[in-house]
Structure 1
Amino acid sequence: MNKAKLKNTVKAISVVMGLSVSILVAGFSTASFAQENGNERKTQRVPTLRGKVYEQLSRAQNAADAGKPKEAFSILDEVKDKASSMNSYELAMMYNFYGFIHYNLEQFDDAIASFEEVVKQQPIPTSFEQATLFSLAQLHMMRGNYDSTIEFIEKWEAIQRQVTPGADIPAKNLVLKAQAMYQKQDYAKASTYINAAVEQQENSAEGFQVDENWYVLQRAVYFELKQPEKVKDVLLKLVKQYEKPAYWIQLAGMYGELGDEKQQLAYMEIAYQMDYIATGSDIFNLSQLYYYHQIPFKAALLMESGMQQGKLTKDERNLTFLAQAWSFAKENEKAVPVMMAAAKLSKDGELDSQLAQTYLNMEKWQLAIESSLTALEKGNLRNEGTVHLVLGMAHFNLGDYTVALNELAEAEKHTSSRGMAKQWLKFVQTEQASTERLQAQLGSSEPSGNTYLP
């Protein structure tokens, strides 16, 4: 059996968390390996994988590849029955196959147990041992065993320090440790590890791009550490390198957190121009930004478009905001039907009160009165005095001085409307007196009824 065929056949693959694919290859020839001895590792000879054992493992591999895991396990069990006559390398490869098949069957706890048996067999090649340790760290991470994740990664690193003293810890190790620390809610340590991994990758001579998920983890850690400026900096990198819609929205949100509303609006506007504002919540948020920055017309148009596209429901909240945007934009004719629709959905009289004020501004006195009465009937008003004030002003403009004075007197009873009500009371009383005097004068100048005949 030649080495090339063996290399393609005898292998164990671990793919966990999307972080790595490790291919472990056995060899027939006697190989050297580093055996731990205190703080040093001395070179020793690795036992060979004998052809007879290889053939059995190869049969198990073929059965597993053919989708026959029971047959594969049966073959491995036959090999295991002869464990007393097998060397450490052969035992490790056997347990590695057990782990590989368990993993493919998503029997992850059994896979962990098998891979742990692999590293117990000594001596085995250093590369084999390290790859298995890393696979164990990944599997424990997937199973939520975060302390075990760190334990196996650090065992990997201990071997690496002895094999290659002074070498940097690989970035993939740092990321895995950062993930475990993040899940343990030790955000300070998670930050140390993920920052080191990102820095190592960004400064690498090969110029490799930092993995997107590393930045995502780094952003999450900074967020938990309440460091919004650093969250923003990571998002700037994500926007530049990956340009996903969500990153633009999140970046705009972070500028909002930092109190830089101009930049927040700028990035949301860019996202809108790139068709990244796709969800109802994003449409509503951008509309609010337009409104806040004194651009109510654009706010109203965007809200209306969102409703027409079915991305925003025509519920009380959305209709109320749309009506407010149209009112702020001095588009009362457009605001009124929207506000009427919102008022019909509302159980309290607040929207009817706002509608009455809009009608008053439009000089539609009778409609202002009707909406005010509906508001009072529904109740639960934030400021009932304002409704009475509107009623007083509307009745005054219709020439109903007595009703107007009664409503203004009611408005005067409420603190928030008292000052305005007093001014209007004086004004209406003055106007009423003037009207009465004028009517009296006109009445005294009328003919007495005695007609002079020539």
Structure 2
Amino acid sequence: MNIRKLTLTISIVLSASVLPSLLSVTPLTDINTVYAETKTKRVPALRNKVYSQLARAQKLADEGKVQEGLEALDNIKARSSSMNAYEVAMMYNFYGFIYYNENQLDKAIESFEKVISEEQIPESLRQSTTFSLAQLAMANNDYTKVITYLDKWRSGNTKPIANSYYVLRANAHYLQKQYDQALESINVAINLSESKNELPKENWLVLQRALYYSLNKPEQVVVVLEKMVKLFNKPEYWVQLGGMYGEVGESKKQLAILEAAKQQGFIQSKNEIMQLAQVYMYNGLNFKAAEALKQGIANGKIEDSAKNQAFIAEAFVQAKEDEKSIPHFKKATSKVKHGNYAQRLAEVYLNLERFEDAADYAREALDKGDLNFESNAYVALGMAQYNLENFDASIIAFEQAEKHKKSARLAKQWIKFVEKEKLHSESLKKALL
């Protein structure tokens, strides 16, 4: 059964605001560590004088004296002509760190770009700064630059690539609607994690699901949601999985998963209750469909509308509970100007052999008008009048029904039958005189 839930018509679409936090720039490498690294790299030395000045700027920033820290760096910058390439890079590194902490991303990016523009710096510093630039570009919604920085980082990388690279790349591609490239990257991240017997992070699977959905691969969406239900057991994943089972035609699985979700108290919203009721109806569980919607209205989660009351009534009729349908058809007809629900009441009363009521509601339906199938109301009225032995009224009703192409043949048959019954009835009356 193809019933999409809102969460999937969802658009299962992510925005930058709900993407996993990828920007994890940590305080820059401790200056002592960097200084020590220079001893094993072919880079200029970081002199003690410059080191102490940078350390002072960092201390001021750490104490919350941001402006003073920046002023200290400005003083160092004013004498940068006497500094070597590595010292200049470290100075801009500190600028970038301070600007990042102040959420001035454009200035932070500009500073970090100046770090990697210096040739004579440790490769580890170049790599870590380049990756930080990719993260900052993501935070700054510059997704093209994210990919550029990641490509640059990978070209200089000599170590095993961590999941964070693939996740960041996947998100950048996704937000540019480059779904195939995004899927390739997020799949690598998830496979790497699972190959180490580690659980993939929930937001990775959220993105993977969104990508399969965007690429119109519902069977793969199902696979991902099955995994998410198993790993995280969240109500929305159960409901979404139910919807996707309907999408791929697995109606029995859809019923089973939604029934299990209901038993766990996961069916709460208006859309979820409506989805469950529709799935019940589709699978022939009409009484349960009626009760589900009825309870939803009682709980205030479902609107007490004519349409919903009519749904309950029709579900009871399908469940062969005609008597239970009557109050719901009555509520439905009281909420609308047209006569369609009154017509259905007339038909229900005919089934229950309550012919006076059937005639009354058939007339109400015709009085209200705007009927989808006016002929049915005349047929119901004709049958009710016949059973009440109002033969002339019955014939008049069927003559009206005969004017409609849909019911013409049936109406003619009834007219002949009622005329015979009228003659028979009149003959009996004469015989009894």
- Is the TM-score greater than 0.5? yes
Contact map agreement 2:85 2:118 (CA 8 A) in 1: yes
- The answer to whether residue 262 in structure 2 is matched with residue 272 in structure 1 is yes
Equivalent residue runs for 1:151-166 within 5 Å:
151-160=148-157, 164=158
Query: What's the RMSD between the two structures over aligned residues?
Result: 2.2
- The answer to whether residue 242 in structure 2 is matched with residue 236 in structure 1 is no
> Judging changes above 3 Å, is the alpha-carbon distance between structure 1 residues 53 and 377 closer, same or farther for their aligned structure 2 residues?
farther
- The answer to whether residue 249 in structure 2 is matched with residue 252 in structure 1 is no
Equivalent of 1:310, from 300, 304, 316? 300
1:137 counterpart letter in structure 2: A
2:349 counterpart letter in structure 1: Y
Task: Please name the residue that 2:28 is paired with.
Answer: 24
Q: Tell which deviates more after alignment, 291-300 or 308-317.
A: 308-317
- The answer to whether residue 175 in structure 2 is matched with residue 169 in structure 1 is no
Q: TM-score scaled to structure 1, two decimals?
A: 0.85
Equivalent of 2:193, from 186, 201, 216? 201
Alpha-carbon distance in 2 for matches of 1:422, 1:189:
68
Alpha-carbon distance in 1 for matches of 2:401, 2:256:
44
- Measured after TM superposition, the shift of residue 289 of structure 1 is 0.9
Alpha-carbon distance in 2 for matches of 1:57, 1:121:
18
1:114 counterpart letter in structure 2: S
- The answer to whether residue 126 in structure 2 is matched with residue 126 in structure 1 is no
Alpha-carbon distance in 2 for matches of 1:385, 1:49:
96
Alpha-carbon distance in 2 for matches of 1:254, 1:200:
27
Task: Please name the residue that 2:11 is paired with.
Answer: none
Which secondary structure state, in structure 2, belongs to the residue aligned with residue 45 of structure 1?
Answer: coil
Deviations 1:91-141 (A, max 9, x none): 223222322232233222222222212211232222222122112112222
Task: Please name the residue that 1:433 is paired with.
Answer: 423
Equivalent residue runs for 1:349-428 within 5 Å:
349-428=339-418
Count of residue correspondences: 412
Deviations 1:356-379 (A, max 9, x none): 212222223233233223322333
Contact map agreement 1:137 1:153 (CA 8 A) in 2: yes
Q: TM-score scaled to structure 2, two decimals?
A: 0.88
- Measured after TM superposition, the shift of residue 292 of structure 1 is 1.2
- The answer to whether residue 72 in structure 2 is matched with residue 75 in structure 1 is yes
Task: Please name the residue that 2:4 is paired with.
Answer: none
Alpha-carbon distance in 2 for matches of 1:174, 1:281:
35
Which secondary structure state, in structure 1, belongs to the residue aligned with residue 42 of structure 2?
Answer: strand
Q: Which runs of 4+ in 1 moved over 6 A?
A: none
Alpha-carbon distance in 1 for matches of 2:129, 2:420:
96
Which secondary structure state, in structure 1, belongs to the residue aligned with residue 357 of structure 2?
Answer: helix
- Measured after TM superposition, the shift of residue 21 of structure 1 is 4.5
Deviations 1:381-402 (A, max 9, x none): 2211001111111112222211
Alpha-carbon distance in 1 for matches of 2:160, 2:62:
37
Taking only the aligned residue pairs, the percentage that are identical comes to 43
Higher relative CO (CA 8 A, sep ≥ 6), structure 1 or 2? Answer: 2
**Any stretches of 5+ residues in structure 2 without a counterpart?**
1-19
Q: Tell which deviates more after alignment, 53-62 or 84-93.
A: 53-62
Contact map agreement 1:31 1:47 (CA 8 A) in 2: no
2:249 counterpart letter in structure 1: G
